[in-house]
């Protein structure tokens, strides 16, 4: 890997998955140390304390941290999302969780949601390369494709429909 190439990696884990993420991060500490790391509040504090690495800490997930990371994804500021979420435990901020996962898919951001996938991603030859996933070009969805809603053809008159 080029010594100038550093990925921005977001690390997020729900309460029941924090120990799984910590174990994974400890095992991969040397690799992670070469990159810029960020995390939601409690997860970031735990990882920074346990790994001794500098981690940019956002708010806790339920109070906006998931949305902060989602915004960074949309802006192109996150290259990889490691999000160990708990599918068996209801989350009070479930809409934020779904929004974060949706943004990762929309912006074609590599994501790992469990240890097996995180292992595959970090051991991929693409991980230590200058690989950049293609980001979609997202426009104004429909009305921006040359049609002005004001000049659209009128809706058919319901009374003119054949019986």
Q: Which residues are catalytic?
A: 66
Under DSSP, is residue 29 helix (H, G, I), strand (E, B) or coil?
helix
* Sheet order of strands, 80-84 included: 55-57, 36-39, 8-13, 80-84, 111-112
- Which 8-state DSSP code applies to residue 60? -
Task: Output the six-digit token pair for 37.
Answer: 């790391």
User: Distance from first CA to last CA of the chain, Å, rounded?
Assistant: 69
Per the CB < 8 A criterion, the answer to whether 96 and 69 are in contact is: no
Q: Cα separation of 117 and 155, whole Å?
A: 49
Q: Cα separation of 102 and 49, whole Å?
A: 30
Strands annotated E in 58-160: 80-84, 111-112
- Dihedral sign, Cα of residue 31, residue 34, residue 39, residue 42: positive
């Amino acid at each position: 890997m080029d010594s100038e190439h550093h990925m921005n990696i977001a690390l997020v884990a729900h309460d029941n998955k924090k120990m799984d993420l910590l174990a994974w991060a400890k095992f991969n500490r040397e690799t992670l140390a070469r990159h810029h790391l960020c995390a939601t509040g409690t997860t970031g504090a735990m990882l920074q304390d346990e790994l001794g690495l500098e981690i940019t800490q956002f708010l806790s997930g339920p109070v906006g941290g998931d949305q902060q990371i989602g915004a960074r994804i949309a802006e192109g500021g996150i290259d990889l999302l490691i999000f160990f979420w708990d599918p068996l435990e209801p989350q009070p901020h479930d809409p934020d969780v779904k929004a974060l996962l949706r943004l990762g898919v929309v912006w074609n951001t590599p994501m790992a949601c469990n240890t097996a996938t995180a292992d595959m991603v970090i051991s991929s030859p693409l991980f230590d390369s200058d690989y950049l996933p293609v980001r979609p070009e997202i426009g104004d969805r429909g009305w921006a494709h040359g049609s002005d809603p004001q000049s659209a053809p009128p809706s058919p008159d319901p009374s003119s429909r054949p019986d």
